[in-house]
Amino acid sequence: MNRVTIYHNPRCSTSRTVLGLLRERGAEPEVVDYLQHPLDRAELARLVARMGVPVRDVVRAKEPLFRELGLDDAATSDDALLDAMAAHPILMNRPIVVTARGARLCRPPESVLELLE
């Protein structure tokens, strides 16, 4: 199987489910605990570009810090969102899986299967 990377939070049930689905399908992914090993701004920008989604789609809006930092303002720029995620990794939504087929936020968990087919 090709290289698989999961940006993972072990305390997140969705992230644990996706990791389990990957392993059930024979993948042994590189597991990046992004809270312990945060992505820098450039890495985040590359990941979002690979996903092909707006930066705002990768930000965890349910996190209290999101509002505390004023990121809930629709006028907040992509640059400001990337800076915030780099400074506060908890703001990155998860799990994000990267394979040769692409990169995506795997919510719902079963969406990871599209990256393995």
Same domain, yes or no, for 84 and 49? yes
Give CA separation, 98 vs 1, 51, 77, in Å: 13, 9, 25
User: pLDDT class for 1, splitting at 50, 70, 90?
Assistant: low
pLDDT tens-digit series, residues 92-110: 999 999 999 999 999 999 9
Same domain, yes or no, for 66 and 82? yes
Cis previous bond, 108, omega within 30:
yes
Indicate which CATH number applies to the domain containing 68: 3.40.30.10
Same domain, yes or no, for 81 and 47? yes
The pTM for the full model equals: 0.94
Q: Which residues are catalytic?
A: 12
Same domain, yes or no, for 74 and 98? no
Same domain, yes or no, for 48 and 79? yes
Overall number of domains in the chain: 2
> Which among 31, 32, 30 is positioned nearest to 40, based on CA atoms?
32
